[in-house]
Amino acid sequence: METTVFERQRPAAKIIEDSLAETKFGCYWIEDVEESAARYPALTGDLTADYAVVGGGFAGLWTAIKLKTEHPDRKVVLLEGMRIGWAASGRNGGFCEASITHGEPNAEARWPDEVDALYRLGQENLDEIERFVTENKLDVDFERTGQLSVANEEYQLEYFEESDEDHIVLDAEQVKARINSPTFHGGVFSPKENANVHPAKLAAELARHAASLGVEIYEQTRVTGLNGRADEPIELETTAGTVWANQVALCTNVFPSLLKRYAFHTIPVYDYVLMTEPLSDEQLASIGWEGREGLADSANQFHYSRLTKDNRILWGGYDAVYHTGGRIKPKYEDRIESHRKLASHFFTTFPQLAGVKFSHRWAGVIDSSTRFCAFFGQAHGGRVQYVAGFTGLGVGATHFAADVMVDRFAGRTTERTELEMVKQMPLPFPPEPAAAIGVNMFRWSFDRADHNGGKRNLFLKAMDAIGFGFDS
């Protein structure tokens, strides 16, 4: 087997140890808004509403905003079990990408007849998010920077096709002129594909805007059950009372669905992240990055990276860990072996930054689906709408998902609702122990491919053929 650049050019152990010696275990984004973000009350009894939205992440917040904007005289309530944006929405890398299908290759493989429409709708979706942020003056550190995908191995250059208006293929020197790393052999820059955003600020600002419209937000109000009967409001059982609503949007991401039919359609996958201290002007000059592009590499086990407003570097990815049993536990977030591995790969990529320290390390849990992007379900004659399965690329796609659910609530037939991507359901994951065996087989196969010129083994080829996948 071949070695990867991260093995051939591994930094000294002391560089890694020193960089993590004073690192705080905690999410930088959430900590950054801890004092400024508004708090909302817990539910203290029963209530009725026209619409109830379950989940205070991006999907729930966008849905509540769109419902209240379209129906200002109707009562919209949002129920969050913890705090607004505390889970995946506040912990991610802060990339707001145009793709609503986890990248164009995924769309090409699954919905070849819809590729052009899906690409256009994704671009329009990101444009709409930018317009909303600008028009409503949301303080979310939004920067439309584009995306730079790089090859860390020569064989990965084969993944980059010819340049077009939206994808500019770069050779090694052109890539290094943008971001200076000795590991980059080439890349492709997509100027329209990505915006950087402070995800915890985005969640807080969306909640603030929703509240200003009249959405009633309840934190620390966990929904424990859903019951529906014909010609009666949907009943939501919570830890503090009962909510009856004519229509309900379920936006619970990785957490167990209140609709049991979707219990096996997502699995929780843990993704790990580091954040550096702010770079000095000299350190920043050593790597360039003047365009502030979002950065990702092209391996199966990939890294993602970006600059923050105060010139920290976020560095995450590579390890995607599923724990047997599919449970979600806080202890799974503290995995120092993954953070050490990330630190090692960081200094391989940027050896000129030896001596930089990481201020924060954390993890987030991803709602991975077998098709890598969101799917849409419904129940009780369409009065309950459900979305999940964003697979780590949901910051922008949640906005599109909210539009789909609002269209469905209204009974509208639109281009969005008629997409095969929207109407089709992904294959479910198998129950345990098959799920853990399968995920570990995927991870082993990805690692083998990354050590074998990207060549996919028979297992991966078979899974590709039936449309069953694992990603983060």
DSSP secondary structure string, 13-26? HHHHHHHHTT-EES
Cβ pair 84, 221 in contact under 8 A: no
Output the domain CATH number for residue 322.
Answer: 3.30.9.10
Using alpha carbons, select from 466, 381, 373 the residue that is nearest to residue 422: 373
- Tokens for 453? 């010129």
Cβ pair 25, 362 in contact under 8 A: yes
pLDDT for residue 146: 97
- pTM of the predicted structure, to 2 decimals: 0.96
- Tokens for 219? 């934190």
- Is residue 253 in some structural domain? no
pLDDT for residue 43: 98
Separation CA 377–CA 428 (nearest Å) = 13
Q: Quote the DSSP letter at residue 257.
A: P
For residue 185, give its domain range. Answer: 5-32+143-197+266-368
Using alpha carbons, select from 320, 471, 306 the residue that is nearest to residue 393: 471
User: What are the two backbone dihedrals, phi and then psi, of residue 181, each rounded to the nearest 5 degrees?
Assistant: -135, 135
Q: How many CB atoms lie within 10 A of CB 156?
A: 20
pLDDT for residue 376: 98
Separation CA 407–CA 54 (nearest Å) = 18
What averages of pLDDT result for each successive group of 10 residues across the chain (472 residues)? 93 98 98 96 97 98 98 98 97 97 94 97 98 98 97 94 91 97 97 97 98 98 94 95 98 95 95 98 97 96 97 96 94 97 98 98 96 96 97 96 98 98 96 92 93 93 87 75
- Is residue 157 in some structural domain? yes
pLDDT for residue 161: 84
Rounded to 10 degrees, the C-alpha dihedral 412/415/420/421 comes to -100
> In the chain, what is the straight-line distance between the N-terminal and C-terminal CA atoms, in Å?
25
Q: What domain count does the chain have?
A: 1
Crossing angle, helix 336-349 and helix 13-20, to 10 degrees? 120
pLDDT for residue 33: 97
